[in-house]
Structure 1
Amino acid sequence: MKSKASSPFWVPIYAFLTTIIAGGLLLKLDVCHPGKPLSFLDAIFTATSAVCVTGLAVVDTGSFFSRTGQTVILTLIQLGGLGIMTYASLVIYLLGKKVSAADRIAVSQTLIHDPSFNIGKFIVGVVTAVLSIELIGAVLLNRMDPQGFAPYSAIFHSVSAFCNAGFSLYPDSLSTWKDHAGINFVFIALIVMGGLGFYVLTELWQKLCDYIRRKKRPITAHPISWQTHIVLETTFFLIIAGAVALLLAESLRAHAIPNFESNELSALFQSVTCRTAGFNTLDISSMTNVSLIFMIFLMLIGGSPGSCAGGLKTTTFRALFGFVLAKIRGRSQVRVGWYALTEDSINKSLTIMALAGVILGTAVILLSITEGGNIPHTQARGHFIEILFETVSAFATVGLSTGITPKLTSAGKVIIISLMFVGRLGPVWLLTAINNWQSEPRYKVPEDDLSLG
């Protein structure tokens, strides 16, 4: 039992839980919000949202918390962005101590899903690159608007953007800058880089360095790896398709409300941010149901494996899309890009989708009970899509809300906290950790076909 409890698959779970509890205890201190009451549940909710880089908030971060409280949240965001085990292993490595096999597996699975890499060199490179990107983003934000993004605010928002956290020091998020192309594109760049995955970023950086140094590489059929190609291609498609869909959906409202401003920049920003970042330049609560449905779809897909983003991941989306397409065409192989997927990859993608469906379905039912289960349908119209939106936002660690987060009951907050935690770890990781406690039966039962469809 002890060996199972210390399995490397449980290490990140313990690390995240410990950090959330410690963060909640710190945020509960009066110095983080002088003279303003904050319940322990709300403190844990905020800490979970920060560590799980979600961005859902029961109180306004900028006005409720002091600079000390905001710094605690910023620290939790940074720790949660790369994963607690990353920093723990970095400290151990820099101190010259041997990194355990458990830490090696945990970090490699979290970052690049490859346990055979040089953990010390890789982690130092990743942390250095991340801090450099966040610093550059902060400098650009400060240069473009020194008043709106003073040094501290610029750093806070740059870290929050790259880590795909969505926490903002302004009550209306980034609505003030919805027409500022420069600031919009800085946030878009930070969010996209944070959501591509460290494996992809590392490969692209290496390619760029080789190009600058004019270093010759072995001639290959493709300039980048298959996974990087799939991630970039799918990310680009989702950004453009999402922007077009949102622009068309909001144009319905623009025809009905002449003074309503909907433009390509706002649609592009929302397409990027709703795939796990959580910032907004438009009022989410006033968007059309069609827009919310498109956003739910984008939130559910999320970012890419080994990134700061949540969701089912872009590669899972491509695998599922390829699976459906192959079945429609009557083909035995599921082809995605240059290669066909293995049966294990297909089974894993189907498992992820099934688990997500069960988790989200259960959460929606529970929230429907806790957040107005006694209200007749005639009085609760529109409430279901708000609950569904909130549920997907929490599970995919996005942080966008139609405005019901501060109004949640205590039971509702516990449900959202659980969703954020499971969503950050990933349903498959949690299932693997649970399965690690189980033993494979030493017998098999007879097999038979079941009529389906």
Structure 2
Amino acid sequence: MRTKILSPYWMPVWFFAGAIIAGALVLHLDASHPGGPLSLIDALFTATSAMCVTGLIVVDTGSYFSLLGQNVILVLIQVGGLGIMTFTTLFIYLLGKHVSLSDRIAVGQSLLRDPSFSLTKFLVRAVVGTLVLEGLGAVALWAMDPVGFAPYSAMFHSISAFCNAGFSLYPDSLMQWSGHAGINVVFMLLITAGGLGFYVLNECGGLAKRVMLWRKPIRQGPYLLSWHTSIVLRTSLFLVAVGAVVIFVAEGLANNAPESLGERVLTSLFQSVTCRTAGFNTVDIGSMTNVSLAFMMGLMLIGGSPGSCAGGIKTTTFRALCGFVAAQFRGNPQTRVGRYALSQDALNKVIALCSVALLLIIAGTMVLTSLESAGAEYLMGREKFMVNMFEVVSAFGTVGLSTGLTERLNGAEKTMIIILMFVGRLGPIWLLSALRSWQAKQRFNLPTADLPLG
């Protein structure tokens, strides 16, 4: 029993939960919020949102928390952003303990989708690379606006952006810089880098290094990039472009966009990028059209890429699902994604992940709508459905965007959002695998039969 509890699948769950509880207890101290009281449920909500790099807040981070409280939030963001498996394995290495082959393979499949990677080199590159990118981002923000982004503010926002956390020290997030191209570009680059995944960043960095040094690139057969990296980059670019176009058109038709064409393009692009689990906003989310909100929910559900700071079902899952649907329409027995066809085991995981994600979102929306509509008129409760679903998808996808509902949630509703953030950050498949590790393997097969479908 002890071996199962401390298995590679369950260690991140315990570490994750422990870090959240520890952070909540420190945030609950009066020294963390001298401006007013903070209930234990609000402290737990804030700690979970930070550790899960979500960004949903019940109190204003910049004005309500002291420097101690802000530093606690920043540490939780950094730990959660780098990834629980990275920190867990690094902790084992620092203690000089031996990492078994099964643990090594588990870490590789989780972070890199490659069971033969060098663990030590990966840890060094991941940690150092993250710190370098966050440092460059902080310097860029400080250089472009030394007043709005003083050194500490620049560092806080750079870490929050790269880790796709969405926490801001300003009550309106980044709305005051909606027309500042430089600030927008820095945030979008940090968000994108944090959402691509360590494997993709490492491979792209290696390719760029060899090109700059005039060396021959290491080819993946006839290709410059691996299958995984090419799928992630193409899918991410497609989602950002389509999202920007939809938001631009929807807000423009409703006369709900800035008058300047340049600012309209910038805000549309920024909101499309930030939907990939970042949580920052340069426009008022609550005033956006239903078309934009609906499409943004789709982007939030997809999220970032495997092994990244982002949440969601991931870009590779979305691409595999699109390939599966296309194969069914074409009558093709194989699901092709890029240059390869997916195995049946991979397709089973895709279907399971999408099914569980949709069930969680539907259940969460129903529960939240029921709690929100209690005591309200029927039609008034019905109007809240879109707002509640947006909040649920944002929590599950660890995005942090909100139409303004978060601060009005009661204790029961906050508890449900906490659970969604926790499950969304670890991933439904990871939790299902953890539960499955406790079950005995079935050693028999039942007779098969066809069931009428459709």
Band of TM-score, shorter chain: over 0.9
Mean CA deviation greater in 357-366 or 126-135: 357-366
Residue 128 (structure 2) pairs with residue 108 (structure 1): no
Report the equivalent of 1:337.
338
Report the equivalent of 1:75.
75
Mean CA deviation greater in 113-122 or 73-82: 113-122
Report the equivalent of 1:45.
45
User: Is this contact kept in 1: 2:35–2:65, CA < 8 A?
Assistant: no
User: Is this contact kept in 2: 1:251–1:262, CA < 8 A?
Assistant: no
Mean CA deviation greater in 113-122 or 72-81: 113-122
Per-residue deviation, residues 246-266 of structure 1 (Å, max 9, x unmatched)? 000101221799899960000
User: Is this contact kept in 1: 2:15–2:88, CA < 8 A?
Assistant: no
Distance 2:414 2:121 in 1: 40
User: Is this contact kept in 1: 2:184–2:270, CA < 8 A?
Assistant: yes
State the number of aligned residues. Answer: 453
Mean CA deviation greater in 437-446 or 390-399: 437-446
Distance 2:40 2:23 in 1: 11
Report the equivalent of 1:236.
237
Displacement of 1:97: 4.4
Report the equivalent of 1:396.
397
The residue type paired with residue 201 of structure 1 is L
Displacement of 1:4: 1.6
Residue 289 (structure 2) pairs with residue 288 (structure 1): yes
User: Is this contact kept in 2: 1:273–1:280, CA < 8 A?
Assistant: yes
Report the equivalent of 1:358.
359
Report the equivalent of 2:422.
421
The 3 A distance-change label for structure 1 pair 158 and 218 is closer
User: Is this contact kept in 1: 2:256–2:288, CA < 8 A?
Assistant: no
The residue type paired with residue 161 of structure 1 is A
Distance 2:87 2:257 in 1: 51
The residue type paired with residue 126 of structure 1 is A
TM-score by length of 2: 0.96
Secondary structure, aligned partner of 1:37:
coil
Secondary structure, aligned partner of 1:200:
helix
The residue type paired with residue 53 of structure 1 is V
Displacement of 1:242: 0.4
Equivalent positions of 1:179-190 (< 5 A) are 179-190=179-190
The residue type paired with residue 214 of structure 1 is W
Report the equivalent of 1:444.
445
Displacement of 1:110: 3.5
The 3 A distance-change label for structure 1 pair 17 and 442 is same
Distance 2:69 2:256 in 1: 43
Displacement of 1:339: 1.3
The residue type paired with residue 353 of structure 1 is C
The 3 A distance-change label for structure 1 pair 184 and 261 is closer
Report the equivalent of 1:376.
377
Distance 1:233 1:151 in 2: 35
Secondary structure, aligned partner of 2:255:
helix
Displacement of 1:22: 0.3
Report the equivalent of 1:213.
213
Distance 2:260 2:89 in 1: 54
User: Is this contact kept in 2: 1:83–1:110, CA < 8 A?
Assistant: no
Q: Give the superposed CA RMSD.
A: 1.9
Distance 1:360 1:255 in 2: 28
Per-residue deviation, residues 285-331 of structure 1 (Å, max 9, x unmatched)? 00011110010011011000010000011001100001111111111
TM-score by length of 1: 0.96
Report the equivalent of 1:143.
143
Residue 321 (structure 2) pairs with residue 320 (structure 1): yes
Report the equivalent of 1:14.
14
Report the equivalent of 1:225.
226
Report the equivalent of 2:176.
176
Q: Which runs of 5+ in 1 are unaligned?
A: none
Distance 2:139 2:209 in 1: 23
Distance 2:176 2:135 in 1: 22
Distance 2:168 2:174 in 1: 8
User: Is this contact kept in 1: 2:267–2:282, CA < 8 A?
Assistant: yes
Per-residue deviation, residues 175-195 of structure 1 (Å, max 9, x unmatched)? 000000000000000000000
The 3 A distance-change label for structure 1 pair 91 and 448 is closer
Distance 1:154 1:20 in 2: 25
Q: Which runs of 4 or more aligned residues in structure 1 lie more than 6 Å from their structure 2 counterparts after TM superposition?
A: 255-262
The 3 A distance-change label for structure 1 pair 99 and 447 is closer
Report the equivalent of 1:32.
32
Report the equivalent of 1:196.
196
Secondary structure, aligned partner of 2:254:
helix
The 3 A distance-change label for structure 1 pair 101 and 413 is farther
Displacement of 1:373: 3.4
Secondary structure, aligned partner of 1:129:
helix
Distance 1:112 1:45 in 2: 30
The residue type paired with residue 79 of structure 1 is V
Distance 1:274 1:132 in 2: 24
Secondary structure, aligned partner of 1:245:
helix
Percent of residue pairs bearing the same amino acid type: 57
Secondary structure, aligned partner of 1:328:
helix
The residue type paired with residue 152 of structure 2 is Y
Distance 1:338 1:143 in 2: 43
Per-residue deviation, residues 61-105 of structure 1 (Å, max 9, x unmatched)? 011001110000000000000123423433443565433556534
Distance 2:414 2:374 in 1: 15
Mean CA deviation greater in 326-335 or 413-422: 326-335
Residue 35 (structure 2) pairs with residue 58 (structure 1): no
Displacement of 1:347: 1.3
User: Is this contact kept in 1: 2:305–2:315, CA < 8 A?
Assistant: yes
The residue type paired with residue 53 of structure 2 is V
Mean CA deviation greater in 41-50 or 212-221: 212-221
Q: Which runs of 5+ in 2 are unaligned?
A: none
Distance 2:89 2:63 in 1: 35
Mean CA deviation greater in 40-49 or 108-117: 108-117
Mean CA deviation greater in 261-270 or 233-242: 261-270
Secondary structure, aligned partner of 1:54:
coil
Displacement of 1:115: 3.2
The residue type paired with residue 147 of structure 2 is Q
User: Is this contact kept in 1: 2:83–2:308, CA < 8 A?
Assistant: no
